[in-house]
Structure 1
């Protein structure tokens, strides 16, 4: 009872500055938005993943959802937590030196040692570079990752690798280490994608996207049994913008062969992407999601099976037309390419009718007059020809006559 009472008394003494405005808990990883307000990383990422584009404290519209680590506040919190009278345990935020990190790296790799490394890396850019530039340390993490079956340990290594990605040359280094033939790191990624936390799944997808630097690495990742399906499953997470964006980005990076695209079509990616397009109202925070969703459709539209599936889906073509000129130039050009593929290349009458029903001809004419690429403008011209013919046939469908029209000589 005495201990509980003391905890309650101490909780009152927590400086307001150290509390996250969302969770009201002491911040573990303080990050600042463009509005200048600082939140705990986990809390603000959850807020943004729900599709919000405002600062929770000020309700200002965010010009950018990029977060910046508040290192000064992090150090202050660490110092406050290291006080012996503080309620939280100092071990939860270990302040260790580079010498101690070296000792940890040379010792047994386990969850506790990895947690210390993660905290050390998050304190400052200097600490992050210290780990990232140590080839022996990174190689050791990868070696252990390739032989690990404990989910918490795998998630810790994924967090370390994700932090390293921000450093110059990290993509190439991790590509070389993670995809070596004598390691089975891809199985560990599948384990995290299947059983890990949503944060770890997102980071795994981000790493896989980053190491798909060439055709060989793209093939290795895509051909690993189970990995395509787990990434596809990630884009089925309802209303989690960050998960959907990470999954779409990874799939775009590795889906370079027709076999991979056909497999995605078999999973039902056309229907899923159509639902993504229809469920997200346009805001600056979902622009990347819409661009990548349309990019996926453009990719699968390069094969016959993809064009057929897009035409047959009840939402897909309609949602693409609705998004034209409403998101970004990138999204518009992806959308025009998909519509052209099904309407002009495949000459699918069902797709043409769907485009016409949602005023597609007018939208295409507007795109053609906008600041689009030469290839997009050419596709628009071809679409206008096809849709005008479709429109004239529709207008004359109920008109019947037996009059013989004679063309003068």
Structure 2
């Protein structure tokens, strides 16, 4: 059997291939026609698709370019692509590649035997007409298949609400599958709450579940709650029940997962930023201050530290929060040790926490403790090093407030003794 000539292949493809042949290490000495290679990955194409610009790419590479990286141009021609760009399967090229691989003995696993049909919003809408459980599983397959599948599910009318309905229903097995889908999508928190008033209550119930089999569902629920809270109004944040804060704090304490902990810390920081202050009190009553101290003592990576300090700053804006921090045996020390050791943003939050307790909860015992745990020395360093202006101003105010009590401290400049 004779191999088709490169010229014949060119005619079938209705394109002019580049003059150079790029070598690919599939088989020793084997030359791969350059137009069998994806212009993005420079690898043999497994599922060639053609854009409206006439350029062909491997499906995986171009879908990542368009949907994951959110680029709106053709990589080769640089032409602007329409919002509803259609990836047209290039069956002719695919058959040629398969034939070429077969003739040369190239491993057949390089090319998938079966490819799922292209997905679009209309296809997703058809799936919703199936039996609910069958539709849920099909949607999960679509979401897991590609970035394009995710975008199609997001765009299909009623698809996200259909998935959320399983979360609200609360049946464990189906709920877990629905959460896996929602975790992969970019959804609007405001829209979800507006169309599904019980969703926060449902997510809280899932967070309440315990056991190794519930870890992933709890982590996904925490992620979704984070999405919802970030888009809530001040009134909605103030209306969050204490049971929500209790379960969020439990996620922080139990270390469900690294990502779940960060999501929980963001929820605490966002919810406690509500101007009315009611959310702060609820969080403190749920044990947020002690949980945040534990996070700081565990010395997590930078972002988790920053989030914990933001939450502590918010909690200490109410008397209950300051009292909890001062009463904690390691509270002030945990905050002081993060000064100048996390980031500029982290140092600013740590100074704000110390400023809150030094100004509004300054018992003789607290003032002594601040010196004993090194907080005074750290505040003096803040003044000497390159820090944000507001951070320095608050550090200077703390030192002036209690300069007389700290006069014996060797790190306190004489100028403060005279204030």
SS of the residue 1:106 aligns to: coil
Q: 1:113 to 1:215 in 2, by over 3 A?
A: closer
Partner of 1:104 in structure 2?
A: 127
Bigger RCO of structures 1 and 2 (CA < 8 A, at least 6 apart): 1
Structure 1: how far apart are the matches of 2:397 and 2:207? Answer: 43
| Structure 1 partner of 2:82 | none
Within the candidate set 204, 209, 219, 1:190 is matched to 204
SS at structure 2 position matched to 1:296: helix
1:385 corresponds to: 400
Instruction: Tell whether 2:225 aligns with 1:208.
Output: yes
Q: How does 1:152-191 map to 2 (within 5 A)?
A: 152-165=173-186, 170-171=187-188, 174-180=189-195, 183-191=197-205
What corresponds to 1:150 in structure 2?
A: 171
Structure 1 residue 117 corresponds to structure 2 residue 139: yes
Higher deviation after alignment, 325-334 or 217-226: 217-226
Structure 2 residue matching 1:323: 3-state secondary structure: coil
**Contact 1:368-1:381 within 8 A present in 2 as well:** yes
Do the aligned partners of 1:155 and 1:192 also contact (CA within 8 Å) in 2? no
Cα RMSD of the aligned pairs, angstroms, is 3.0
Pick closer, same or farther for the CA change 1:303–1:225 going to 2, 3 Å: closer
Please report how far the alpha carbon of residue 226 of structure 1 lies from its aligned counterpart in structure 2 after TM superposition.
2.4
Could you say which residue in structure 2 is the equivalent of 1:140?
162
CA displacement, residues 206-243 of structure 1 (integer Å, 9 cap, x when unaligned): 22222224553762585246222111110011484333
Superposed counterparts of 1:64-103, under 5 Å: 95=116, 97-98=118-119, 101-103=124-126
Question: Deviation per CA, 1:59-104, whole angstroms, max 9, x where unpaired?
Answer: xxxxxxxx99xxxxxxxxxx79987xxxxxx9xxx94652764432
Counterpart for residue 37 of structure 1: none
Q: Distance in 2 between matches of 1:368 and 1:222?
A: 41
Aligned partners of 2:318 and 2:215: how far apart in 1? 32
Alignment of 1:233 onto 2:256: no
Aligned length: 297
CA 340–197 in structure 1, closer or farther in 2 if over 3 Å, else same: same
Aligned counterpart, 1:28: none
Deviations 1:321-368 (A, max 9, x none): 111111111111110000111112433332222221122222112222
Instruction: Structure 2: state its 5+ residue gaps.
Output: 1-67, 70-108, 411-419
**Aligned match of 2:388:** 373
Measure the CA separation in 2 of the matches of 1:222 and 1:373: 35
Contact 2:128 2:159 in 1 (8 A): yes
Shift, 1:306, TM fit: 1.1
1:268 and 2:283 correspond: no
* Aligned residue in 1 for 2:43: none
Q: How far, CA to CA, are the matches of 2:339 and 2:404 in structure 1?
A: 21
Please name the residue that 1:258 is paired with. 277
TM-score, normalized by length of structure 2? 0.63
User: What CA distance in whole angstroms lies between the structure 2 residues aligned with 1:375 and 1:102?
Assistant: 54
Q: Matches of 1:239 and 1:366 in 2, distance apart? A: 36
Instruction: Look up the SS of the partner of 2:334 in the other structure.
Output: helix
Q: Does 1:297 align with 2:297?
A: no
Determine if the alignment matches structure 1 residue 334 to structure 2 residue 349: yes
Counterpart of 1:243 (choices 241, 252, 260) is 260
